[in-house]
Amino acid sequence: MPIAAAANENMANLSNVLVYSAMAVYTLAFLAHIAEWVFGSRSAVARTAAAITTEAKAATAAAGQGAQGGGGTAVLDRPKVVTRAVAGGRDVPDGPGAAGTSEKGDVFGRIAVSLTVLAFLLHAGGVLTRALSVERAPWGNMYEFSTTFGMVVVAVYLGLLVARKNVRWLGLPLVTTILLDLGLAVSVLYTDSDQLVPALHSYWLWIHVSCAIISGASLWVGAAATLFYLFRNGYEERLEQGYVGTDGLNRLLAELPADGRKAARFKAKLAKGTDSFVMRLPSAATLDKFAYRINATVFPLWTFTIIAGAIWAEAAWGRYWGWDPKEVWSFITWVAYATYLHARATAGWKGRKAAYIALFAFATYIFNYYGVNIFVTGKHSYAGV
């Protein structure tokens, strides 16, 4: 086995500078995205919502007149089935995007994307120089995993933009998450650049952990889309009933009993502060389909991650499976996403129910990383924080 090289302090320090520089530029991108949303044309979006409401009411009225106008044989109409949160269940167009129809908002959005690209390059440079400082894969501990994970999340987002996918609405939550991720990494999880224990000196480190990082980064995108889907779906349900806008929400609150249905009243009050943003997102059907495609595409890679980990465990510890906490929670995550994919194909479990399963599945991934690594002792704890 080759002797591990000593850490190159100059490269390690350069890596730290690049990571901090990336955080500074991500902060500027965050502010630009805030401006993009603020300058978004709320008046234009409100007119769009009003037009959709008018069209829905007109279609309902026309259907009623057609049923009354028919003579002769009496026809029993099939009872109307209201399907909640099913992709394609509503004929609602996508929102206009974060900037709405505001030219100034669009300019800030483009600036935000440009800053995100610059921050990504600095971020990637920080990860690369960290690897060069010890001549190994840059994900041997929680600090390195976190910085690489954040870089790959941004890479997935930028890749979707290059593929001309409508995902600029994801920019603000993306840079917010990356800033939290890097902030936690440099303040709590930081570990000096150093060599790893002998068990990690294997080519499986490149294969197994890189697949885990790519899977997690992609699953984050799916989870973010799922969360926004839940907000957008609730908005569209109220849109059908006319409970949108300040007047509509005030009417909804007035109709709810003051001493009961606290959850419904809380949702209505929350909608007052979020509807102006939620109405600019893609439709619930679009978000649901997007999240499903991401999760379904990444699921085989996560499956391979677990298999690769088992093969590496056999080579390092002499057994494929030992009920180590990391192994157990990786399998729990796999089962949760398998349940989600099955639910999406099962009648009665699509929409909100499946979305909750998807969010639970991603929560197990996050706990597997932070919770198991920090609070649970196992064979994967040798790298420390």
pLDDT-above-90 percentage for the chain: 51
Residue 29 CB contacts under 8 Å (≥ 6 apart), including other chains: 112, 113, 115, 116, 119, 171, 175
Tokens of 183: 């902030």
Listing DSSP states for 155-212 in one string gives HHHHHHHHTT-S-GGGHHHHHHHHHHHHHHHHHTS---S-PPPGGG-STHIIIIIHHH
pLDDT value at position 67?
Answer: 45
373: nearest Cα among 149, 46, 81 = 149
Report residue 83's pLDDT band, with 50, 70 and 90 as the boundaries: very low
Q: Rounded to 5 degrees, what angle do the CA atoms 258, 260, 266 make?
A: 80
- Report d(CA 344, CA 379) in Å as an integer: 35
pLDDT value at position 87?
Answer: 43
Task: Tell whether the model's pLDDT for residue 350 goes beyond 50.
Answer: yes
Tokens of 83: 């399907």
Tokens of 62: 């026309």
- Report d(CA 341, CA 135) in Å as an integer: 39
- Report d(CA 188, CA 103) in Å as an integer: 41
Q: How far is CA 327 from CA 13, 201, 254, 382, in A?
A: 34, 19, 52, 15
Q: What is the pLDDT of residues 154-166, one digit of tens each?
A: 999 999 999 999 8
Q: How far is CA 249 from CA 198, 256, 264, in A?
A: 62, 11, 11
Q: What is the pLDDT of residues 176-227, one digit of tens each?
A: 999 999 999 999 999 888 887 777 778 899 999 999 999 999 999 999 999 9
Q: What is the dihedral of CA 156, 158, 160, 161, to 10 degrees?
A: 170
- Report d(CA 7, CA 357) in Å as an integer: 43
Task: Tell whether the model's pLDDT for residue 108 goes beyond 60.
Answer: yes
Residue of 9 and 377 predicted with greater confidence: 9
Residue 355 CB contacts under 8 Å (≥ 6 apart), including other chains: 85, 226, 229, 230, 288, 291
Residue 320 and residue 204 in contact, taking contact as beta carbons nearer than 8 Å = no
- Report d(CA 140, CA 292) in Å as an integer: 31
Q: Residue 333 belongs to what H/E stretch?
A: helix 325-344
* Average pLDDT rounded to a whole number, residues 344-350: 78
Tokens of 109: 């959005």
Q: Give the best-scoring range by mean pLDDT among 33-37, 43-47, 78-82, 318-322.
A: 33-37
Residue 158 CB contacts under 8 Å (≥ 6 apart), including other chains: 116, 117, 120
Q: What is the pLDDT of residues 169-187, one digit of tens each?
A: 999 999 999 999 999 999 9
Q: What is the pLDDT of residues 218-271, one digit of tens each?
A: 999 999 999 999 999 988 888 887 777 767 766 776 777 766 567 776 777 777
pLDDT value at position 93?
Answer: 85
What Rg value do the Cα atoms of the chain yield, rounded? 25
Q: Rounded to 5 degrees, what angle do the CA atoms 38, 39, 43 make?
A: 100
Residue of 11 and 85 predicted with greater confidence: 11
Q: What is the mean pLDDT of the chain?
A: 83
pLDDT-above-70 percentage for the chain: 80
Minimum mean pLDDT among 13-17, 37-41, 376-380: which range? 376-380
- Packed helices 42-69 and 210-241: angle between N→C axes, nearest 10 degrees: 60
Q: Tokens 């980064």 — which residue?
A: 217
pLDDT value at position 260?
Answer: 58
* Average pLDDT rounded to a whole number, residues 102-124: 95
Task: Tell whether the model's pLDDT for residue 345 goes beyond 70.
Answer: yes
pLDDT value at position 77?
Answer: 40
pLDDT value at position 111?
Answer: 96
Report residue 85's pLDDT band, with 50, 70 and 90 as the boundaries: very low
pLDDT value at position 61?
Answer: 52
pLDDT value at position 331?
Answer: 96
- Report d(CA 150, CA 348) in Å as an integer: 36
Task: Tell whether the model's pLDDT for residue 362 goes beyond 60.
Answer: yes
119: nearest Cα among 193, 32, 228, 224 = 32
